[in-house]
Amino acid sequence: MLYVVGLGLADEKDITLRGLEAIKSCSRVYLEAYTSILLVPKQQLEAFYGKEVIVADRDMVETESDAILEGAKDVDVAFLVVGDPFGATTHTDLLLRARALGIPSKVIHNASIMNAIGACGLQLYNFGQAVSLVFFTDNWKPDSFYDRVKENADLGMHTLVLLDIKVKEQSEENLARGRKIYEPPRYMSISLAVEQLLYTESQRQQNVLSATETLAIGMSRVGSSEQRIVAGTLAELNEAGDIFGPPLHSLVIVGKRLHPLEAEYAEEWAISKSEWRRIAQQVYGCQLDE
C-alpha cells in the first residue's frame, strides 16, 4: 500500500492520528521536500515517528518514482507531503504511477494553505482561482498570473497568491555544467511578492492592482504558534517588511465583493485600522458601521 499523507502546516504535531498510524505501519517513509516545507527539521519528524525519513527531492520523485514504489504491493510505503496531498501542488503523478503498477494507494488528508488561509477572516467561497508567483530574474518575469488575478478581480473575488520557494535549485551555470551543486534555499517574502506584483502592474497597466488602494492580507507561518497576519494596502505590506519574520509567507489580494463581516474581522490585523476602513468603504464600497 502507498500512503500519501498530508502533514499539515507547521510541525510534527499537525499530522492526524490516522496519518501517524499509517506511518507506523510503513517500511519506508519519504518526505516530499521541494514544493513546501514544514517549520521543523527532518530529525524532529524522525524522532517523533521513531523511523528514518528519506528526503525526496524533485529529481527523485520525478525520475525515480519506481524506487519509491518498490515492493509497495507487499509492504507499506509512506510519502509525506507538507499540507494536503492535493493542496497547492498535487502528487497525482505518483498516484498515477502506482495505479499503473497495480499498487493500491490511500490518501490521508490534512490542512493546506488552500483552506487554512481562511484564518485571515476572508470567506473561502469568496476566493477565485489561486495563483503562483515565481521569483523574477533579470530576464525572466513571467506574468501570466496577472491575467488570473484580473479575472478574479473583475468578479470581485479574493486571490490567494502562493509565493515561490526554491529548494535544492542549481544555478544556471551549475545546471549547464551538470554540477550537482545547490543554491541555499530561498523563500519569497511578502515584500518581494508585493514588489513583483506592482512591477507587473506597471508593465501591464490594466488597473488590477494599486499600491495605495488595493487591500491585501499577508500571512506568515500559518497554523504555527508564530503565525502572523497583517492587513493593509499593498504599499503598507511592502513597507511592513520584517514584521512577517521567517518563511513561509502567503499573500491574499482582497476582491471588491469584500463583505462587511470580512472587513470587520480582518480589521484586527490592519497596520492602520483607519486606513483599512477608509479604503474598505470608499474604494471597495463596503458598508461598515461607524
Which spans of this chain sit near its own copies (rule: CB under 8 A)?
A: 6, 8-9, 12-18, 20-21, 84-88, 90, 92, 95-96, 99, 107, 109-112, 114-119, 121, 123-132, 151, 155, 157, 162, 222-223, 261, 264-265, 268
Report helix, strand or coil for 4. Answer: strand
Cα–Cα separations (whole angstroms), residue 32 to 17, 24, 83, 111: 20, 18, 11, 16
Output the smallest distance, CB 98 to its own copies, in A.
12
- In the numeric block, the cell 524532529 is attached to 44
Residue 257 in grid coordinates: 465583493
Output the smallest distance, CB 48 to its own copies, in A.
9
160, 190 Cβ separation under 8 angstroms: no
For residues 25 and 202, which CB has a smaller minimum distance to its own copies in the complex?
25
Cα–Cα separations (whole angstroms), residue 80 to 53, 106, 116: 9, 12, 19
**How is the beta sheet containing 28-32 ordered, strand by strand?**
54-56, 28-32, 77-81, 2-6, 105-108
Output the smallest distance, CB 199 to its own copies, in A.
22
Tell me if 147 is assigned to a ligand binding site: no
Tell me if 222 is assigned to a ligand binding site: yes
Tell me if 175 is assigned to a ligand binding site: no
For residues 223 and 232, which CB has a smaller minimum distance to its own copies in the complex?
223
Output the smallest distance, CB 40 to its own copies, in A.
13
Pairing of strands 28-32, 54-56: parallel
Count Cβ atoms below 10 Å from residue 71 Cβ, excluding itself. Answer: 11
For residues 12 and 239, which CB has a smaller minimum distance to its own copies in the complex?
12
Binding region for S-adenosyl-L-methionine: 9, 84, 87, 112-113, 163, 222, 249
Binding region: 9, 84, 87, 112-113, 163, 222, 249
